Chains A and B, each alone.
Chain A
Amino acid sequence: MILDPSSSSAARFSDVFTALMVFAGAIVLLVLGLVVVYCTRYRAGSGADRSGRLVHVGKLEALAIGAMAVTFGALFVWAAKLYFDNATPPADARTIYIVARQWMWKVEHPGGRREINELHIPIGEPVRLVMISQDVIHSFFIPRFRLKQDVLPTRYTTLWFVAYEPGEFHLFCSQYCGADHSQMRGTVVAMEPAEFQRWLGPSPMVPAPVPGTPGTPQGGLAAGGRSVFFALGCNACHVPGASVRAPRLDGIWDRPIALRNGQTVTGDEQYIRESILDPNAKISAGYTPPSLMPTYRGTVTPEQITQLIEFIKSLRDGWPPGLSPVQHPSQTGEKP
């Protein structure tokens, strides 16, 4: 058995698994031991003493129930606390997008590098996977990391971990998804951080439309998202100074957004995706339904949505000056 913790999640698994093995092993030995001893000692025809049987049955049973309740309760609290404390990824985790479909894993790094059925990650750094499916439910399973999460077609699910050792590990689909389910496998390549940076490649910057303002990484998801933003006509409403009033996109990433119904949501992947596909689901404060925005369901691919998300992320500190309907990138030669 492999009990060496190869990742943060594997360490948690091993602790609880080992404790349960000790507990279960003790109970199995106790029960089987008693059965064997009793069946031998009290076999028909043996001269064993059969007098002095147990009385106080109720007290004995109550004791057993109490002991079990305490043991199970303690095991639960410990395991659940480990799970709960590690449910939220650290804020600085590296985000990687996973799109699952029958029968492959598509991986997108924010810098623009894409892979299929391979996932390269750096060790010693929290990695957060944001996953969605294009068809049925799949499940992203790295046995070596003792980690698994279903990948749904309806919304993003996430998974995070820190890999501790370099190496190549299995990636399996563990939720039955049709004919080639057992072929929906891949490899996770955990690398030293420097090597990982080399693998990611250089990320040259695209100069911003106006000189002197921050640009976006070339070929990165955010740059792709900017093209999608113009290609789909989002810029008609969602840029500063547009003729139609629309909720702002700058500064919403990872910040609270007030809704018309008084609730507050966080500007995260889930919210952005939902607002693109179902603009009426969450109406921002100050706007009245129905939303003027049409749904982009069926028009926009999962990859384009992740690009748009990365683009909106890049607007966290405000719009780069000059990005407005007047200066459409097509005028500067950039293909939508």
Chain B
Amino acid sequence: MTTLPAAVRQESYLAEGRTIRSWLLSVDHKRIAILYLVAITGLFVIGGFAAMLIRVHLLTPQGALVSKEEYNRLFTLHGTTMVWFFLIPSIPTVLGNFLLPLMVGARDLAFPRLNLASWYVFVAGGCVAMAAMFAGGVDTGWTFYTPYSTRFASPAVVLLLLGIFIAGFSSIFTGLNFIVTTHTMRVPGLTWLRLPLFVWSLYATSLVLVLATPVLAIVLVLLGVERLWGVGIFDPALGGDPVLFQHLFWFYSHPAVYIMILPGMGVVSEIIPCFARRPIFGYRFVAMSSLAIAVLSFLVWGHHMFVSGQSIYASMAFSILSFLVAVPSAIKVFNWTFTLRKGTIRLRTPMLYALGFVGLFTIGGLTGLFVASLPVDVHVHDTYFIIAHFHYIMVGGAVMAYLGGMHFWWPKISGRMYPEGWGVFSAVLMFIGFNLTFFPQFILGYEGMPRRYATYPAEFQVLNVLSTAGASILGVAYVAPLVYFLWSLRSPPTAAPNPWGARGLEWQTTSPPPPENFVAPPIVADTPYDYDHPAPEDPTHG
């Protein structure tokens, strides 16, 4: 590792132009990351607001706020927005876009203009989808099960499908760009086994994006064709098979779960070694487990269909494969934990998020074993147990990792430090709020409350009220970082190039980096986790 040349501070990518035009037409991966940040934050607010309304509505058994029809639209809005317009793009398009070229020592992604195009495609898809949900209203749920979606739901469903179809191309473009960049743009010396684990996770994610998203596109087109022209594919009244839709949908949507969580695993694999001052335990196993998860993710879709009437032999095959996919995930958890051993641990905000991730992901992952077990899934399927299970992975996992990463790399992205006290406060608040929101939902599901219920039997009320109370805390914990990140922009960009004493290449350039990323090509001497040997620029704080 080299020290940063004590050269004059380069002009940062942020100062390169201040007009709207200079942002909207920029092909700089760092600026495009900011464009994505703005877009997905806006969409997260929409999806989060829908979640708040859902939780308020469920305060009483008869429903406290909206009509049944409105409730059904709200959970469709929440699910669709969060899955396709927040979780799938979040870490790859913001942190991935910003960091991948920096981490491999490149000037930009392999295809900068394709990168900008993918942002426009994403925004176009988002606008079409939001128009469908606000102008028309769609009540199918994010899963669009047939024949409800093709025969009974409002015509706006076609517009929503179109929005998701368009956004899918953005995923494919980004995936291609990341794969090619990882293969071709690494600086000399940066061998595959010296890649940061975040890059490994982005690479695995990109493979899934490129291979799975076309299947989703095909399904959405088939749905639209049936809906618009009455071609019988899924609707039994037209001679179709509704269960076929479920197979095709989950063939994409289960791998999509790993699109959402793999990048988060990568973020945590960067944060934990840095704040434990220890090389990651079992680097190769953590890297390869990302690839193992990517491959296995394509083989487990049928575990969403244990009660759909599929063959019992198919169910058993999908059950064992679902147990198998837990192995590489568990390996990661053990390696993160052992990385802490004999470290020098500083519990800064990013580390709190990362440790929160480990705890919540462990619970989410272990409850995955429950739903992989046939006799248990037959009861908890389509109940709040499932809701709790995937929110532990998606919110407790993916969102925690996203926010941990945002805090970790905020000095690099913005050139400013976030306020540490507020950071710790909101991280702890989020952990508490999250558990209060979603743990009661495990019990609700165990007791049998089905998901997507606008009204419910009175005996479920206490747990629902608890969950709503937790959601209010969670809401506050989400607003806080939004406020203090923006607030930090008021002061000048004075963050040190490497405030955490981290070892990745992105810390070898200024904060924020110059438009060309590196003034001189960075030098790679070891893995990015060489924390055993003190680096000259190690900070004194901590």
Closest approach, in angstroms, between the C-beta of B309 and any C-beta of chain A? 5
> Is A176 an interface residue when CB atoms closer than 8 A count as contact?
yes
Q: Tell yes or no: A65 within 8 A of B by CB.
A: yes
B456 is an interface residue with CB less than 8 A from chain A: yes
| A9–B346 CA distance with the chains assembled, in angstroms | 50
A315 at the interface (CB under 8 A from B): no
Q: Does the CB pair B362–A31 fall under 8 Å?
A: yes
Residues of A contacting B276 with CB < 8 Å?
42
B41 within 8 A of A: no
CB < 8 Å neighbour of B374 from A72, A83, A144? A83
Query: How far apart sit A1 and B379, CA to CA, in the bound complex (Å)?
Result: 14
Instruction: Specify which chain A residues have a CB less than 8 angstroms from the CB of B484 in the assembled complex.
Output: none
The stretch that binds B, out of A108-116, A153-161, A202-210, is A153-161
By the criterion CB–CB under 8 Å, are B342 and A154 in contact? no
Q: Is A170 an interface residue (CB 8 A)?
A: yes
Per the bound structure, the CA–CA distance linking A182 and B443 in Å amounts to 19
Residues of A within 8 A of B113 (CB): none
The range of chain A's interface size is: 35 or more
Contact with A along B322-360 (1 / 0, CB 8 A): 011011001101110110111111110000000100110
Q: Is B382 an interface residue (CB 8 A)?
A: yes
Number of contact residues on B: which range applies?
A: 35 or more
Chain B residues near A147 (CB-CB < 8 A): 378-379
Q: Interface digits, B360-400 against A, CB 8 Å rule (1 contact, 0 not)?
A: 00110011011011111011011100000000000000000
Q: Which of A64, A135, A178, A181 contacts B331 (CB 8 A)?
A: A64
CB interface residues, A 100-159, toward B, < 8 Å? 102, 135-137, 139, 141, 143-144, 146-150, 152-155, 157
- Chain A residues within 8 Å of B446, by CB: 1
Residues of B within 8 A of A75 (CB): 323, 369, 373
B183 at the interface (CB under 8 A from A): no
Q: Are A39 and B340 neighbours in the complex by a CB distance under 8 Å?
A: yes
B334 touches A176 (CB 8 A): no
Q: How far is the CA of A135 from the CA of B147 in the complex (A)?
A: 8
Whether, in the assembled complex, B241 has its beta carbon less than 8 Å from a beta carbon of chain A, the answer is: yes
Q: How far is the CA of A333 from the CA of B145 in the complex (A)?
A: 48
Query: What residue in chain B is nearest A24 (Cβ atoms)?
Result: B366
Is B201's CB within 8 Å of the partner chain A? no
Q: Which residues of A lie under 8 Å from residue B333 when comparing CB positions?
A: 31
In the assembled complex, which residues on chain B have CB atoms less than 8 Å from the CB atom of A87? Answer: 312
Contact across chains for A148 and B307 when beta carbons are under 8 A apart:
yes
Q: Interface centre among B276, B320, B331, B379, by most A CB within 10 Å?
A: B379
A230 within 8 A of B: no
Contact check, A24 vs B359: say whether CB atoms are below 8 A apart. Answer: no
Q: Are A174 and B139 in contact (CB under 8 A)?
A: no
Shortest CB-to-CB span from A164 to chain B, Å, is: 16
Contact A155 B342 (CB under 8 A): no
Within 8 A of B (CB), among A167-202: 170, 172-183, 185
Bound Cα distance from A99 to B151, whole angstroms = 19
- Bound CA span A57–B379, Å: 40
Residue of B nearest to A278 (CB): B239
Closest to B148 in A: A136
B281: Cβ under 8 A from any A Cβ: yes
Q: How far is the CA of A25 from the CA of B468 in the complex (A)?
A: 26
Beta-carbon nearest neighbor of A136 in chain B = B148
Whether the Cβ atoms of A146 and B148 lie closer than 8 Å is no
A175 to B306, CA, bound (A): 13
- Determine the residue in chain B with the shortest Cβ distance to A152: B309
Q: Known: A73-B323, A76-B323, A152-B242. Is A179-B375 also a contact (CB below 8 A)? A: no
* A38-B337, A42-B341, A182-B454 known; A174 vs B381 contact (CB < 8 Å): yes
A179 touches B139 (CB 8 A): yes
| CB<8 Å pairs between A and B, sample of 30 | A13-B376, A13-B378, A16-B375, A20-B376, A27-B362, A31-B358, A31-B359, A38-B341, A39-B347, A53-B342, A58-B282, A65-B331, A73-B323, A79-B376, A80-B319, A83-B378, A102-B152, A137-B242, A146-B378, A147-B378, A154-B242, A173-B450, A174-B382, A174-B450, A176-B140, A178-B139, A179-B72, A182-B450, A182-B453, A182-B454
Interface residues of chain B, those whose CB is within 8 Å of chain A, are 68-69, 72, 139-141, 143, 145-148, 151-152, 236-237, 241-243, 276-277, 281-282, 285, 307-309, 312, 315-316, 319-320, 323-324, 326-327, 330-331, 333-335, 337-338, 340-347, 355, 358-359, 362-363, 366-367, 369-370, 372-376, 378-379, 381-383, 443, 446-448, 450-457, 542
Known A50-B342, A72-B324; further 17 A-B contacts with Cβ < 8 A:
A9-B375, A12-B375, A13-B375, A16-B375, A17-B370, A24-B366, A39-B347, A42-B345, A43-B344, A51-B342, A58-B282, A75-B369, A83-B316, A152-B243, A154-B243, A174-B383, A176-B141
Closest 7 CB pairs of A and B: A143-B448, A38-B340, A83-B374, A146-B379, A182-B453, A24-B366, A174-B450
